[in-house]
A and B are shown apart, each in its own frame.
Chain A
């Protein structure tokens, strides 16, 4: 456990030091939003729940929750999830 917590911090330092993109080294999700209409999430860990009003997506160390109306998972691939609809809230849960 101890070791596991140490890892990311060391990597974080490395990422900062070498100016490397954090999502690559730290396994962080990368979010791209187009207004309130589209969300592209890269580096995800699957869908936890989805319907047209709420989508919960697994990310490293927690969940990304998107709520809104007419939400739809347009595409799900190993690396990315693409969601469209009218997004109202978007938040992280540890």
Chain B
């Protein structure tokens, strides 16, 4: 709707009054001749209607034909303003000047920014861009985006790819830097194997360097050699003779199914601590660590309590003030033992075990499966949360020549 209204406004419209006995006839005749109207209103012998400015001329003969009189009530719209504006040259010129200067101002590059830089600083990237031909103050139309992008990427060896993104008057230089892969360079002459870091069931072995000692389906324990740091250089024809080998630095990945268990005791008795609501406060004044009771009890008036100490630790201009007021609050606590049903106790233990698991496992751990187990040990029962994951269990182990 606003589109139509906007167009109407741009093309400008008139509000006219038609007086006569047969205003309908006037309207119909005009419509037949292609003059449409909006917002027709009528009372007795006069009707007001709106129409595009350009159609006014065509109405005169129709009015004469139907015996109606036309009176213009108001003119509205951009075209009308434009015509009026001819009389107010200063204003129109000012408005025009503003629009033109705004347009001109936005067709230049005002700012250059960097994005995607990690090792390089913003200044370095902006400087590079300047060398490549992108400077603030340039006319946007003269920007050879493709060429500048290529130049930036070629100029610096750490930049793999560059792209310019024009956002209004800001040009963003997005770059992708060379990722320097930090490869573990083995110390020369050192002998090493990849061994299992924990118990697991091998699922996949990927040897990059060295010889795999295990294959999928094997079960390993911590310390078992997974990939031996050796390479066969020669196999003799005589099967009795051991093949010749040389030491290499082993590299690879050994994925294994690994189980973690988290146990929590099932306690059918639960100790609850609750505040009774009774409390007592004591106030001390302290000067350089020595304190003196101002008011309140010296010791806790309750046998079961929780103590809370509040220090002022005042500072003045970054320096500690030796004077302090210490508040000690004693809150009475009541402990109550509650008997839980078997299910409740197990549920609680499960929650505990789960919390333990989420605390100890890293967030990236890919959980494949999990199960709950009930176990008994020394007459106590536990709930065990067993989580199965798949992870790389290979771990480097160096050893000296003697072994």
Residues of A near any B CB (own CB < 8 A): 46-52, 58, 72-78
Query: Which residues of B from 344 to 393 have beta carbons under 8 Å from A?
Result: none
Is B219 an interface residue when CB atoms closer than 8 A count as contact? no
Closest to B4 in A: A75
Shortest Cβ distance from A16 into chain B, in angstroms?
31
CA distance A78 to B27 in the complex (A): 11
Is B28 an interface residue when CB atoms closer than 8 A count as contact? yes
Closest 3 A/B residue pairs (Cβ): A46-B28, A77-B36, A73-B40
Is B94 an interface residue when CB atoms closer than 8 A count as contact? no
Query: Per a CB cutoff under 8 Å, which of A51, A58, A75 touches B36?
Result: A75
B contact residues around A76 at 8 Å (CB): 27, 31, 36-38, 40
Given contacts A46-B24, A50-B24, 16 further A-B contacts (CB under 8 A): A46-B31, A46-B32, A47-B28, A49-B24, A50-B42, A72-B41, A73-B37, A74-B38, A74-B39, A74-B40, A75-B37, A76-B27, A76-B38, A77-B31, A77-B36, A78-B34
B contact residues around A52 at 8 Å (CB): 42
Shortest Cβ distance from A18 into chain B, in angstroms?
30
Shortest Cβ distance from B89 into chain A, in angstroms?
36
A contact residues around B40 at 8 Å (CB): 50, 72-74, 76
Name 7 interchain pairs, CB-CB below 8 A, sorted by A: A47-B24, A47-B27, A51-B42, A52-B42, A73-B40, A75-B37, A77-B31
Closest to A45 in B: B28
- Interface residues of B, CB < 8 Å — how many? 14
CA distance A74 to B37 in the complex (A): 8
B contact residues around A47 at 8 Å (CB): 24, 27-28
Closest to A83 in B: B40
B contact residues around A74 at 8 Å (CB): 38-40
CA distance A88 to B37 in the complex (A): 24
Contact in complex: B36, A78 (CB < 8 Å): yes
Closest to A80 in B: B36
B contact residues around A58 at 8 Å (CB): 28
Shortest Cβ distance from B28 into chain A, in angstroms?
3
A-B pairs with beta carbons under 8 A, tally: 42
CA distance A58 to B37 in the complex (A): 17
Shortest Cβ distance from B45 into chain A, in angstroms?
12
Query: Per a CB cutoff under 8 Å, which of A48, A50, A78 touches B31?
Result: A78
Closest to B37 in A: A76
A contact residues around B32 at 8 Å (CB): 46, 78
CA distance A48 to B31 in the complex (A): 13
Shortest Cβ distance from A10 into chain B, in angstroms?
27
CA distance A58 to B25 in the complex (A): 12
CA distance A46 to B23 in the complex (A): 12
A contact residues around B39 at 8 Å (CB): 72-75
Closest to A47 in B: B24
CA distance A57 to B227 in the complex (A): 94
A contact residues around B41 at 8 Å (CB): 72
A contact residues around B36 at 8 Å (CB): 75-78
A contact residues around B43 at 8 Å (CB): 51
- Among A47, A50, A75, A77, the most chain B Cβ lie within 10 Å of the Cβ of A47
Shortest Cβ distance from A36 into chain B, in angstroms?
20
- Among B32, B36, B40, B42, the most chain A Cβ lie within 10 Å of the Cβ of B40
CA distance A49 to B34 in the complex (A): 20
CA distance A50 to B34 in the complex (A): 20
B contact residues around A75 at 8 Å (CB): 36-39
A contact residues around B28 at 8 Å (CB): 46-47, 58
CA distance A91 to B43 in the complex (A): 24
Closest to A82 in B: B38
Query: Which residues of B from 33 to 75 have beta carbons under 8 Å from A?
Result: 34, 36-43
Shortest Cβ distance from A80 into chain B, in angstroms?
9
CA distance A20 to B9 in the complex (A): 38
A contact residues around B37 at 8 Å (CB): 73, 75-76
Contact in complex: A48, B24 (CB < 8 Å): yes
CA distance A46 to B24 in the complex (A): 8
Closest to B34 in A: A78
Closest to B51 in A: A76
CA distance A74 to B36 in the complex (A): 11
CA distance A47 to B24 in the complex (A): 6
